[in-house]
Structure 1
Amino acid sequence: MAEEESITEGIRRSTLNGIFKENIFEWQFAILGPRDSEFEGGIYHGRIQLPAEYPFKPPSFMLLTPNGRFETQTKICLSISNHHPEHWQPSWS
């Protein structure tokens, strides 16, 4: 999948990610806490859920690991997420 390769290349140094073969609409990721920050040493696991209508409808993002910034198991408010579908542009995918 070209999108996965592009995303993987762009964020390879600080994240791990993967797509489940059983469900290509769910992506899992882990972000490593940046050095010299309060998050250093942390590994923050999350999920990107793509709707069946993707790329015509936006994905949702959620962190699954407690992190002090976002609530776990709760969709994150991003301009590129389904939290603000009116802003979504299919060309972003």
Structure 2
Amino acid sequence: MNTYLLYVASGVLSGIGLLLFARRRLETGCAVFAVATVVNGIAQGYEGDTGMVALNAASFAVFVVVWWIGGGGDRTRRRLRRTARAFRGVRRTAPAGGAA
């Protein structure tokens, strides 16, 4: 696979992230940078540079945490809560007179 296209896509996403940071949109910029680090990590993985893959994974984690704490994950949190309400606890114990 041609990793050049992945590097170009990562560069374009990083540029968009920088523009968003310049416009004071921290959460959106972090989300775009997180996607850019994933794309860059995939390209580095194809080339076999495991050190850079680890660095991209750490950067991804930091960007996702900043995005989540900054309010970027509010809709995701609401969806998770709504989904969790649909589940009911079911008792799964053996009957009292069960076989020994």
Please give the TM-score of this superposition, normalised by the length of structure 2: 0.24
Query: Larger relative contact order (C-alpha < 8 A, sep ≥ 6)?
Result: 2
In terms of fraction of residues, the more strand-rich structure is 1
Please give the TM-score of this superposition, normalised by the length of structure 1: 0.26
Pick the structure with greater CA Rg: 2
In terms of fraction of residues, the more helix-rich structure is 2
